[in-house]
Amino acid sequence: MGFWSDKRVLVTGGAGFLGSFVVEKLKERGCQNIFVSREKDYNLVEMEAVKRAYKDANPDIVIHLAARVGGIGANEENPGKFFYDNLMMGAQMMEQGRLFGIEKFVALATICSYPKFTPVPFKEEYLWNGYPEETNAPYGLAKKMLLVQSQAYRKQYGFNSCCLFPVNLYGPRDNFDPESSHVIPALIKKCIDAIANNDSRITVWGTGKPSREFLYVEDAAEAIILATERYNKSDPVNIGAGFEITIKELVELIVKLTEFKGEIIWDTSKPDGQPRRMLDTSKAEKEFGFKANVSFESGLRKTIEWYRKAGNKHA
């Protein structure tokens, strides 16, 4: 608790899905001075907005979560925007943090930074062993530059920053917009909407063969807080739950939990994305004591319950 009591913390993306949970955890730990930069007030792609955010927040610590994100479809339609916006936000936030003289900068990268054919489980040392999966490579590479910048700035300037690589997150308050959502909210919405509309079938992208790993959003927020408190290196650290599930198994589980009784149509003309994804999460436990707590089925139930109550009002 004492760590946070006198710290001023700037959380970019703090009003977003993950950011809202990080802000809650900061408050629980006794942080009194939290500044959330909202996109409508601070477009962090622009340097002047970044400078203004630092001036207004006057932070000791920056937790950089703001990102331009989306599922496979959104990445395919916006590769240039996803690359430029993420690159510029990260590079400028870290550079201004250095010039401002902050104590620590915590950056969130992505599992999409890993090479397409990374051996499972993904170890941090595999990050540079090939090119990322094509559909989200521009996004993955832009976020990977946070790691390069963090290591370069530590070496030249002694700048204290770290870079975390989380798997796909899910949970209450997720983005359920079909144009840009990731796989779990997209599937939950399809099943619940189909039940509401008495539809007899849902269509799912791809073949169902690829595997993914998912981390409940509150676990991810806890990992970020622990890394901020305890991890002072620029070596990359994976953040995940350490399990693998195929998309076919995922669909079957969500169908079961939502009680959708209809048919599943697989649209194999749509891309599968990366063949397999699962992280080696041992380093996070060793370096700052993080281990995921929420079981996958329990997390899915909470997410479905939230969407039934609140989510479909926003989607």
Domain locations in the chain? 8-170+214-243+276-294
For β-strands 161-166 and 104-108, DSSP reports them as parallel
Q: Is the pLDDT of residue 314 over 60?
A: no
Q: Is the pLDDT of residue 315 over 70?
A: no
pTM for the model: 0.95
Evaluate whether the domain defined by 8-170+214-243+276-294 bears CATH number 3.30.450.150.
no
- Rounded to the nearest angstrom, the gap between the alpha carbon of residue 23 and the centroid of all alpha carbons in its chain is 15
pLDDT digits (tens, 9 = 90+) for 80-124: 999 999 999 999 999 999 999 999 999 999 999 999 999 999 999
pLDDT digits (tens, 9 = 90+) for 59-89: 999 999 999 988 778 889 999 999 999 999 9
pLDDT attached to residue 163? 98
Question: Active site includes 139?
Answer: yes
pLDDT attached to residue 311? 62
Q: Which letter, b or e, does each residue of 53-87 get, where b requires 16 or more Cβ atoms within 10 Å of its Cβ?
A: bbeebebbbbbbbbbbbbbbbbbeebbeebbebbb
Cβ 90 vs Cβ 163: under 8 Å: no
pLDDT digits (tens, 9 = 90+) for 248-288: 999 999 999 999 999 999 999 998 988 899 999 999 999 99
According to DSSP H, which parts of the chain are helical? 17-28, 47-57, 72-77, 79-100, 137-157, 183-196, 217-230, 247-258, 282-288, 296-306, 312-314
**Catalytic residue from among 42, 114, 139, 216:** 139
Contact residues for 65 (Cβ-Cβ < 8 A; gap 6+): 11, 12, 13, 14, 16, 18, 19, 22, 108, 224
- Assign 312 a pLDDT band (cuts: 50, 70, 90): low
